[in-house]
Amino acid sequence: MTIDLPKDWADRLGGGLADFYRDLHAHPELSFQEHRTAEKVWEALAPLGLEVTPGVGGTGVVAVLRNGPGPVVWLRADFDALPVQEQTGLPYASTARATNPDGKDVPVMHACGHDMHTTVLVGTLQLLTETKKHWSGTVVAVFQPAEEIGGGAAAMIADGILDRFPSPDVVLGQHVGPIPAGVIVYKSGVVMAAADSLKLQLFGHGGHGSQPESTVDPVVMAANVVQRLQTIVSREVSPFDPAVVTVGYLHAGTKDNIIPDDAELGINVRTFDETVRSKTLASITRIAQAEATASGAHKEPALTTTHSFPATVVDDTVMQQLAAVFRGHFGAEHVIENPQPVAASEDVSLFGTTAGVPTAFWFWGGYPQETYDESARTGRPVPTNHSPLFAPVLEPTLSTGVEALTIAALSRLNTKR
């Protein structure tokens, strides 16, 4: 059984939440650098009287709301940003810059909506706190760092989050996206792809561009590897098993008449099945080694994993129950089941998988109808997550997100009239 939310909650809390969101959006921070963001979360939660623990998994924050006996529900939001130069033109657009892990100065933007996720979770805790007489149980709010590099959930688990805080009976999360505002989209089973980011180093033997016979050219080696990698999906993976292999960068050399000693490739793999994933990764290794041998390289290639996300798997029973709750609250026309998974990736399911409990995860919309009308008129696509133009409209995005996460939590707790 669920309960009705206070009808005036948005009038009372919405302005403060909107200000909180605009502040986060204007001050984004890269993965594992979210010190200011964590401090702002702490400040926002201080008046609620929760048990708040900072520094979990580096920069993560965990807040515990205890309200008598009952289930333990984990609510998760991520709060890191991306190295993107914002182009939204918003009055609160980010002008922030930071130093990335490679030591380079980069622009920073909340181009994936994690500022909205964090704001929504703060609002959800505010609502759950003021409705405590209507429910019992424990809510654990997980403000997670470093989702963008697939390291935040693992870092919090390694830091003992499952032992230091009440163990979950269910893990709930949501993601804002280029969907009409006020709409919720869900799927059970495999919802998002596994993703592996790899760095491949190929070693040749450099020399003068006029004397290629005295060299082993790593640029040619790299070019052949790029071409051959495309045959993994087209010739080694079944047409009924989706997979993507992308070479996102190829770095080699400094001057046109110098054959360099080495070349580096950045490779990204997306799969939905563990067998396909293992086969694809093994094929990348085989192709790199074979090309090095064919080129006469004197050193084996080096292949390292830089980031890795598991597939996001959503429990069917829990998700269908939540979908029914959403339909009852928002109306059936605003709740849509998506038959297809998406090739983007998330690390939220690590919490549920490690704890051995179900995970539910859904998407909600951030764009008004006018955005879609303009796209149809101009032919320009609606900006997606990670775009420098990604900018969810504040309302009804914020209120929809808060209400969805709150009623989802209440549906898993012990509720009473």
> What are the residue ranges in the chain where pLDDT is below 70?
1-3, 417
For position 288, what pLDDT does the model report?
98
pLDDT at position 260: 98
The answer to whether residue 80 is catalytic is: yes
Q: Domains of the chain: which residue ranges?
A: 9-192+311-415, 194-308
Q: Is 134 annotated as a binding residue?
A: no
Angstrom distance (rounded) from CA 94 to CA 111? 10
Beta carbons within 8 Å of 339's beta carbon, 6+ residues apart: 187
Identify the CA nearest to 47 among candidates 15, 92, 13, 79: 13
Q: Name, in order, each residue with C-beta under 8 angstroms of 120's C-beta and a sequence gap of 6 or more.
A: 77, 174, 398, 401, 402, 405
Instruction: Check whether 205 is labelled as a binding-site residue.
Output: no
Residue 386 marked as a ligand binder = yes
Residue of 147, 217, 346, 403 marked catalytic: 147
Residue 416 is predicted with a pLDDT of 80
Q: Is 337 annotated as a binding residue?
A: no
Q: Is 4 a catalytic residue?
A: no
Which residues are bridge partners to 363 per DSSP? 175, 185
Residues whose CB falls within 8 Å of the CB of residue 278, separated by 6 or more in sequence, listed in order:
none
Catalytic residue among 29, 34, 78, 80: 80
User: Is 307 part of any known ligand binding site?
Assistant: no
Q: What would the CATH number be for the domain defined by 194-308?
A: 3.30.70.360
Q: 182 near 331, Cβ under 8 Å?
A: no
How far, CA to CA in Å, does 165 sit from each of 46, 174, 269, 413? Answer: 18, 21, 34, 17
Structure tokens at 294: 């064919």
- The fold for domain 9-192+311-415 equals Aminopeptidase (3.40.630)
Global confidence as pTM = 0.93
Distant-in-sequence, close-in-space partners of 327: CB < 8 Å, separation ≥ 6: 335
